[in-house]
Amino acid sequence: MSKLVTIYGGSGFVGRYIAYRMARAGWRVRVAVRHPNEALFVRTYGVVGQVEPILCNVRDDGSVRDALRGADAVVNCVGILVETGKNGFDAVQSEGAERIARMAAGEGVDRCVQVSAIGADMEADSDYARTKGEGEAAVLKHMPHAVILRPSIMFGPEDEFFNRFAGMTRTGPILPVAGASTRFQPVFVDDVAKAAEKALEGQAASGVYELGGPDVDTFRGLMQRMLKVIHRRRLVLNMPWFVAKMVAFGFDMLQSATFGLFTNKMLTRDQVKNLRNDNVVAEDARGFAELGITPMAMDAVLPDYLWRFRPSGQYDAIKASARNLRQG
C-alpha cells in the first residue's frame, strides 16, 4: 500500500505544489484545510481518491489528531501574514505548529516537514518572525529529526507579491514601497516543494535549510524587474519609515474599526518591522546545494504569469510586432 502524507494548509500557495508533487510520486495525500469545499481542485492532482481535502483547524486538538491518523509523514504549511479574528500569529504559527508536531509524535509519524521563513527568530521584534521561530523550536522539541524549510519570499503564478504590486501599477504612475533598499532572494514556489519532497522521501538530512533563488535584489530592484516584464513605466517611490508606520497604523486601525470586515492586505505595522531586515540566505546556512536542487531564476518564470498585467495583456506582443511592421 502507498504511503500517506498529511499536509496542513495543503491548498495554500506552497501546499498545493507539495501536494501535487507527492501525488505524482505515488503517495496518498490528505490535504487538511479549514475550508475543504474550496480545496476540491487538489483532487485533480492524482487518480480518484488519491488526494482528498479534509476539514481541519490547527487551533483544535481533535481535528489535528484526526487528520494525522494513519499518516506516515506530515507537512505543516500553515502560516498567515495578517492576523484576523482568532487566527493570530501565536495561535497559528506558534501554538498550531506545536500542536501538529506533538500529535504527530504521539501518532508515531516518521517524517515531518515544517515550512517556516527566513528571519524566523524567537527574539525578533516582529510577531510574524517571532512566532515562526517559536514554531520551529516546538517542532524540533517533539520531532528532533524534522526538516525545517526557511524560504525567502516565494514567487509563482498564485503569489501575493509580484501579482499584488503588478496589479497596483494599473491604478497610477507611482508604485509606493516601504523598505526599498531591503534585500530579498526570491525563490520559485515549486523549488520549495521539491525540497519538501526530498525531505519526505528521506533524501534530506534533518535540520534547517534556508532556501533562496539564484538572484539577490533590493525591493526597488524587484519592482523594476517586474515593471520590465509587464512593459509599464512607473516611479518606484520609497516611503520613509515614519511614513510607512503611519500608513500601516491607519490600515490596522481600519481593520479593527470594521471588526474584520476590512482585512489589511496592504501594509501592517508588523510587516514594517520585517521590512527593516534583509531576507536572504545566511552564508553558513544549508540550502538547495545540500539538497541537490538547482533553483529557478525569476526571469525564467515571471513572464509566464505576469503577462496579464501588460497594457494589452496577451495581445501586447502582437501589437508591438504590428507597430514594428508599420515603422519598417
Question: Per residue in 135-191, pLDDT tens?
Answer: 999 999 999 999 999 999 999 999 999 999 999 999 999 999 999 999 999 999 999
Q: What is the pLDDT of residue 67?
A: 97
Count of the separate structural domains present in the chain: 1
Residue 108 domain flag: yes
Residue 44 domain flag: yes
CATH assignment of the domain containing 16: 3.40.50.720
Residue 132 domain flag: yes
Residue 304 domain flag: no
| Distance from C-alpha of 43 to C-alpha of 134, rounded to nearest angstrom | 33
Q: What is the pLDDT of residue 1?
A: 67
Domain containing residue 73: 4-158+186-214+278-295
Alpha carbon distances (Å) from 68 to 16, 48, 257:
18, 21, 38
Q: What is the pLDDT of residue 322?
A: 60
Q: Max Cα separation, the chain?
A: 72
- 239-249 average pLDDT score: 97
Residue 229 domain flag: no
Residue 94 domain flag: yes
Across the chain, what does the average pLDDT equal? Answer: 95
Helices 127-142 and 96-106: angle between axes, nearest 10 degrees = 10
- 183-212 average pLDDT score: 98
Q: Which residue intervals of 176-240 are DSSP H helices? A: 189-200, 219-229
| Distance from C-alpha of 280 to C-alpha of 283, rounded to nearest angstrom | 9
| Distance from C-alpha of 303 to C-alpha of 64, rounded to nearest angstrom | 39
**pLDDT at residue 320 is higher than 90:** no
Q: What is the pLDDT of residue 324?
A: 64
Q: What is the pLDDT of residue 260?
A: 86
Dihedral sign for Cα atoms in the order 276, 81, 7, 193 = negative
223-258: string of b/e by CB count within 10 Å (b at 16+)?
A: bebbbebbebebebebbeeeebbebbeebbeebeee
Residue 248 domain flag: no
Residue 318 domain flag: no
**pLDDT at residue 63 is higher than 90:** yes
- Nearest C-alpha neighbor of 100 from the set 146, 150, 153, 52: 146
